[in-house]
Structure 1
């Protein structure tokens, strides 16, 4: 797999039926290793190891309903009160991040109301803080580390 702009992490892999799978420590199962999954697993480790978010507050690949459409978010980090702190949208490295990507995560956030957004393709990372009153996002150099 392609080297990403994240620190180096060690992962567990499994080969089955000519498909490589990677162990997802949040979902507690092996998932087929696709380019987007490679980015997602690096991002999860980044949140846990670099930003010190407890794994118990992280959720991966869950369905949400937006209007009448069923969508799946990549990563959500909760606050201890159950509100959503951060939404992460992961793309495969070959997918360039553009306005459509930000529109996608903004649509998700209409129903999730996260304080922070992160968009990454593993090579480029973008961080935003939501201004819910002005309905806009402010770009940041980084997302905050976990605060108890």
Structure 2
């Protein structure tokens, strides 16, 4: 797989039915290694190892209802109180991060109401904080590190 713009991490792989699979530490199983999954696995390592988010505060690949549509988010980080801190949208490295991709995560966030968004194709990363009062996004150089607290920042 392609080297990504993340620190170097170690992963467990296996060959399953002539496909390479990577062990997902959150789902506790091997999953087929697609280019997007390669990015998602790096994001999980980045959030847990570099940003110190607890594994039990992160969900990956869960269904999301948007009106009558059912979608799947790539990753979500929760506060201890269950509110959502970060929504992550992962794309394969060959997919450019465009306004259309940003619109996708913004649509997901209409129902999730996260404090932060992260978009990445593994090569480019975008982070922003949402300002719900002003109805604006503020782009950041980094996503904040995990800080142990009992409630969300918006409480």
Q: Is TM (by shorter chain) over 0.5?
A: yes
Q: Which residue of 2 aligns with 1:69?
A: 69
Q: TM-score, normalised by structure 1?
A: 0.99
Q: Which residue of 2 aligns with 1:140?
A: 140
> What is the CA–CA distance in structure 2 between the aligned matches of 1:75 and 1:143, rounded to whole Å?
14
Q: Which portions of structure 1, spanning 4 or more consecutive aligned residues, are displaced by more than 3 angstroms? A: none
Q: Secondary structure at the match of 1:103?
A: helix
Shift of 1:11: 0.4
1:78-129 deviations in Å (ceiling 9; x for gaps): 0000000000000000000000011000000000000000000000000000
Q: Secondary structure at the match of 1:56?
A: helix
> What is the CA–CA distance in structure 2 between the aligned matches of 1:73 and 1:136, rounded to whole Å?
22
Q: Where does the alignment leave 5 or more consecutive residues of structure 2 unmatched? A: 149-155
> What is the CA–CA distance in structure 2 between the aligned matches of 1:130 and 1:25, rounded to whole Å?
29
The within-5 A match list for 1:92-131 is 92-131=92-131
Q: Which moved more, 1:61-70 or 1:127-136?
A: 127-136
Q: Where does the alignment leave 5 or more consecutive residues of structure 1 unmatched? A: none
Q: Which residue of 1 aligns with 2:46?
A: 46
Shift of 1:144: 0.4
Q: Secondary structure at the match of 2:81?
A: coil
Shift of 1:133: 1.9
Q: Which residue of 2 aligns with 1:30?
A: 30
Q: TM-score, normalised by structure 2?
A: 0.94
Match status 1:17 vs 2:23: no
Q: Secondary structure at the match of 2:105?
A: helix
Q: Secondary structure at the match of 2:85?
A: strand
> What is the CA–CA distance in structure 1 between the aligned matches of 2:17 and 2:81, rounded to whole Å?
42
Shift of 1:16: 1.3
Q: Which moved more, 1:126-135 or 1:83-92?
A: 126-135
